C-alpha cells in the first residue's frame, strides 16, 4: 500500500519515519514538499564524478577501482552543467531513517524527465531499516540522456520519495545486516560492490 501525503506527514511527525533537515532547513518547511503520495527532495552540494583514466577498465570487484571517482562541491547559487551522456553521483539534502515495515522508492520528477535528466539509473529501491540508526542521505545516480547539456543547482527539487507499507516488518532490516555498506552515508557514495557482505 502506497502512503498518502497525510500518512507520510503523520509518520514523520510521530518519528516512525526519521527525517533530519540539513543545513538551513526546518521540518515545517520540508513538510510543504509532501504532496499527493510522495515527498520532493532537494539536491545537496556534493557530487562524485568518474575520473577519465586512459586505459583503465572499471572493475567493481577490484580494490583498484574503488577510487575512480572524485568529489566536487558546487556552492549555493552556482550551476553544474551536465554534458550529454555524462554520469555522476549526487545526494539529497535530507537524511532519512526508514522503519522496518516500510520501503521507500526514489522517483524522478516528470518535469526533469522531460528534459532528459535521469535521477536514478537503476537503484530506486530503499530497504526497510535504511538509515534507521544513523539517518542517511540518499545517493542519486544522475545521467543526461539528452543531446544538449542540462543545468542543475544545489537546493533544487531533484526527485521524489514515495513509501510503501509492507505486509509485516522485515525480519532482517537493512540496519541489522552484518555489513550495511551505505548506512549512515552523508554524501554521494561510490559503489562498494568490492566490499563483502
Topology of domain 5-176 in CATH is Deoxyuridine 5'-Triphosphate Nucleotidohydrolase; Chain A (2.70.40)
Render pLDDT for 156-184 as a digit per residue (tens, 0 to 9).
999 999 999 999 999 988 787 777 776 66
What's the pTM?
A: 0.86
Render pLDDT for 30-65 as a digit per residue (tens, 0 to 9).
899 999 999 999 999 999 998 777 877 777 777 665
- 52 labelled catalytic: no
Task: Collect contacts of 113-117 with beta carbons under 8 A, ≥24 apart.
Answer: 115/146, 115/150, 116/144, 116/145, 116/146, 116/150, 117/82, 117/142, 117/143, 117/144, 117/145, 117/146, 117/150, 117/152
List 52, 78, 141, 165, catalytic entry: 141
Question: Domains of the chain: which residue ranges?
Answer: 5-176
Instruction: Tell me the pLDDT band of 197, cut-offs 50, 70 and 90.
Output: very low
Amino acid at each position: 500500500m502506497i502512503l498518502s501525503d497525510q500518512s507520510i506527514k503523520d509518520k514523520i511527525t510521530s518519528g516512525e519515519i526519521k527525517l533530519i533537515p540539513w543545513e538551513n532547513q526546518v521540518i515545517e518547511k520540508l513538510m510543504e514538499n509532501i504532496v499527493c503520495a510522495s515527498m520532493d527532495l532537494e539536491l545537496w552540494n556534493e557530487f562524485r564524478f568518474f575520473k577519465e583514466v586512459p586505459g583503465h577498465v572499471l572493475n567493481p570487484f577490484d580494490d583498484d577501482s574503488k577510487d575512480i571517482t572524485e568529489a566536487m562541491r558546487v556552492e549555493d547559487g552556482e550551476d553544474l552543467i551536465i554534458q550529454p551522456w555524462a554520469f555522476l553521483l549526487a545526494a539529497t539534502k535530507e537524511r532519512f531513517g526508514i522503519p522496518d515495515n516500510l520501503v521507500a522508492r526514489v522517483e524522478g520528477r516528470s518535469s526533469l524527465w522531460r528534459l532528459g535528466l535521469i535521477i536514478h539509473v537503476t537503484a530506486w529501491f530503499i530497504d526497510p531499516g535504511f538509515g534507521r540508526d544513523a539517518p542517511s542521505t540518499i545517493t542519486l545516480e544522475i545521467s543526461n540522456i539528452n543531446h544538449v547539456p542540462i543545468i542543475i543547482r544545489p537546493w533544487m527539487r531533484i526527485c521524489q520519495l514515495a513509501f510503501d507499507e509492507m505486509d509485516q516488518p522485515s525480519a532482517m532490516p537493512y540496519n541489522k545486516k552484518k555489513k550495511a555498506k551505505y548506512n549512515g552515508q552523508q554524501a554521494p557514495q561510490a559503489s562498494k560492490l568490492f566490499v563483502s557482505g
